[in-house]
Amino acid sequence: MRLALTMTLAAAALVPLGAATTADATSCAATPGLLSRSATVSRSMLGGGRMTIWDTGPTADPYDSIRLVAIRYPAAAKIRQRVLTTPSVTQSVAPGTFAKNQSRAVVVINGGFFDAGRGALPVGPQLKDGHLYKAASSAATVIATLTNGQTAYSSLAVAGSVAGGGRTWKVMGLNHQSLSSSGVSIYTPDWGPQTRPIGTVDIVVKSGKVIAKRTGSYRGKPVAAGTIVVTATGTPGSQLAALPVGAAVNASWHAVLGRQDMRSAIGSGGRRIYNGTVWPSCDTRSEELRPRSAIGWTQGGDLIVMTVSGRASKNGVRWGGATAHQVGDYMKKLGAYEAISLDGGTSTTMVVRYALGGTVYRVDRSASDSQRAVPNVLEIEPTP
């Protein structure tokens, strides 16, 4: 999908960036003084927000080229924040396609980390409109959208049990990417068409009864509508294998919410600001200059979404942008008191609309750059 872009990348390479700021940790690369220069774009957004763009333009070294897009909505803005997902957890589409399919979307930014080797399976949990698509029994951090239309940092897990043949097993994962020998995992049609992790046996359950047992190469098949698959390794796997076809099985599970007003959630990345302090996170990988995406909140409850991109590429992979620590530093300068990373690298994408139902524009990079397909996004739309 090719998206038109009305704002060209600013050719501002002749304007010096100014002195770099001092990093919060001595091992962290200093943050360029990008935000100390004049913005190249500043315009209002539907719902009461404002988008600001700072852009160095092309530079002699592509790694020094930076384009930062920040959209800020006041706490009182008349907006709703939503999680948008694909129909199953192993499917993915471009952020621009998510936006195109939601006529009221005025901002869409790529969502949580995912495993591209498993059909873009989200690494963390996923909850949409109260429906739990994926989670593990151990709580994972998430970015949650709330019943009041705002976002927050929280946690999400699954709890449940499977009983059959006189035994009861704890549910360790729902549509999760790995199995546990401590209990069983459940897979539903929400997993999608990709192959699944396989245990000792697949127990196919429909209407409370075992309708099939799969072993060998028959395991891992897609889950048919109206059925679930229960599987396990180790002792639970051997015990499941003893269940005969026709045996009664009672499976139940539910979401364990970090806060009761959560409506949707996706797995979060690392914290970049905590209680006003930028977290160093300056290991080798975090110090790479890569495209980055983040979401944050001011002490007063304003929302900030941000992307930082560069113009460098290597072997077809996008480089340049910011280090993990620099993301926190930029967000703090933008006013954030708390900030969380979204997925980055090639996934980094922000698209916007300036009129409801209107054209979708990409703002973090050129419209001609391809968009990586992702399993979920965060969306902002004005309320009526």
Collapsed DSSP state (helix, strand, coil) of residue 56: coil
Region 323-329: mean pLDDT is 96
Q: Domain boundary residue among 228, 257, 286?
A: 257
- Asked if pLDDT for residue 268 goes beyond 80, the answer is yes
Strand intervals (E) in 199-315: 201-206, 209-214, 228-232, 249-257, 262-267, 271-274, 277-278, 292-297, 303-309, 312-314
Region 196-209: mean pLDDT is 97
Exposure b/e, 196-205, CB count within 10 A at least 16 = b = bbbbbbbbbb
Over the Cα atoms of the chain, what is R_g? Answer: 23
- Asked if pLDDT for residue 8 goes beyond 90, the answer is no
Structural domain contains residue 141? no
Identify the CATH number of the domain in which residue 214 sits: 2.60.120
Q: Cα separations (Å) of 280 from 181, 271, 328, 335?
A: 36, 10, 9, 18
Residues β-bridged to residue 83: 378
- Residue 318's pLDDT is what? 83
Query: Are residue 315 and residue 362 in the same domain, yes or no?
Result: yes
Region 97-126: mean pLDDT is 95
Query: Are residue 377 and residue 299 in the same domain, yes or no?
Result: yes
Tens digits of per-residue pLDDT, 269-280?
899 999 999 987
Helix (H) or strand (E) holding 259: none
Region 49-63: mean pLDDT is 95
- Residue 14's pLDDT is what? 30
- Residue 26's pLDDT is what? 54
CA gap 15, 37 in Å, rounded = 9
In sequence order, what are the residues at sequence separation of 6 or more whose Cβ sits closer than 8 angstroms to the Cβ of residue 276? 299, 332, 337
Binned at pLDDT 50, 70 and 90, residue 2 comes out as very low
In sequence order, what are the residues at sequence separation of 6 or more whose Cβ sits closer than 8 angstroms to the Cβ of residue 150? 81, 301, 303
Binned at pLDDT 50, 70 and 90, residue 313 comes out as confident
Cα diameter, the chain:
75
Task: Please provide the average confidence, as pLDDT, over all residues in the chain.
Answer: 91
Structural domain contains residue 250? yes
Structural domain contains residue 322? yes
Report which of 255, 278, 286 is spatially closest to residue 340, judged by C-alpha positions: 278
Query: Are residue 299 and residue 361 in the same domain, yes or no?
Result: yes
Binned at pLDDT 50, 70 and 90, residue 3 comes out as very low
What's the structural domain count of the chain?
2
Exposure b/e, 41-72, CB count within 10 A at least 16 = b = eeeebbbebebbbbbbbebeeeebbbbbbbbb
Q: How many other CB atoms are found less than 10 A from the CB of residue 281? A: 19
- Asked if pLDDT for residue 358 goes beyond 50, the answer is yes
- Residue 148's pLDDT is what? 95
Report which of 358, 339, 350 is spatially closest to residue 309, judged by C-alpha positions: 350
CA gap 114, 37 in Å, rounded = 35
- Residue 281's pLDDT is what? 75
- Residue 132's pLDDT is what? 98
Region 341-363: mean pLDDT is 97
Q: What is the DSSP letter of 129?
A: T
- Asked if pLDDT for residue 12 goes beyond 70, the answer is no
- Residue 304's pLDDT is what? 98
- Residue 1's pLDDT is what? 30
Structural domain contains residue 119? no
Q: Domain boundary residue among 257, 278, 308?
A: 257
- Residue 7's pLDDT is what? 32
- Range scoring the smallest mean pLDDT among 248-252, 285-289, 307-311: 285-289
**Amino acid in position 3:** L
CA gap 228, 208 in Å, rounded = 10
Report which of 329, 319, 348 is spatially closest to residue 276, judged by C-alpha positions: 329
Region 161-166: mean pLDDT is 98
Query: Are residue 245 and residue 292 in the same domain, yes or no?
Result: no
Query: Are residue 277 and residue 231 in the same domain, yes or no?
Result: no
Structural domain contains residue 1? no
Range of the domain at 206: 157-257
- Asked if pLDDT for residue 130 goes beyond 50, the answer is yes
- Residue 13's pLDDT is what? 30
Query: Are residue 168 and residue 228 in the same domain, yes or no?
Result: yes
Query: Are residue 162 and residue 238 in the same domain, yes or no?
Result: yes
Q: Domain boundary residue among 257, 287, 307?
A: 257
Report which of 18, 22, 23 is spatially closest to residue 33, judged by C-alpha positions: 18
